Amino acid sequence: MDLGLIITLLAFAVIVAAAFFIYIKPVREAVEKNTKTEDYKALLELTETAVRFARQWMQTNTGDEKKEEVLRYLRKKIQALGLDVDEEDVDKAIEGVYDKIKHEKKKARETVLDKSDAKSDAK
């Protein structure tokens, strides 16, 4: 085989490898990250549904019992939908959604009190 041909083939192989690492690998990683993002969005939606259900319909249960029911529901849905999330993601989602709902409830209570005070001041 001609030395020039070997060098040309090696140069071509290097260019192909470089193109893979420069273009293809980041695209694949972006697709994987996007998939992870979509899975996480789905997890947050499922978590909000589950936490709201637990707060409304399990009022006499302890917080741990509610969380266990939310976890059981989410694990079932995650498996059924084939979501790519881990236990840490699930736990963070539950805590974040719980805090969000708690904040919304507090904000709504403050709004009602503010309106009540405004009516009292108007009299």
Q: What is the pLDDT of residue 65?
A: 92
- For 28-32, 46-50, 61-65, which range has the lowest pLDDT when averaged over its residues? 28-32
C-beta neighbour count of 47 within 10 angstroms: 25
Q: What percent of the chain has pLDDT over 90?
A: 24
Asked if the model's pLDDT at residue 34 lies above 60, the reply is: no
Higher local confidence (pLDDT), 107 or 22? 107
Give the global pTM: 0.63
Domain boundaries, the chain: 38-122
C-beta neighbour count of 10 within 10 angstroms: 10
**pLDDT tens-digit map of 1-30:** 577 778 888 887 777 666 666 665 665 665
**pLDDT tens-digit map of 64-75:** 999 999 999 999
Asked if the model's pLDDT at residue 44 lies above 70, the reply is: yes
Helices 25-57 and 87-122 sit at what angle, rounded to 10 degrees? 50
Asked if the model's pLDDT at residue 101 lies above 90, the reply is: no
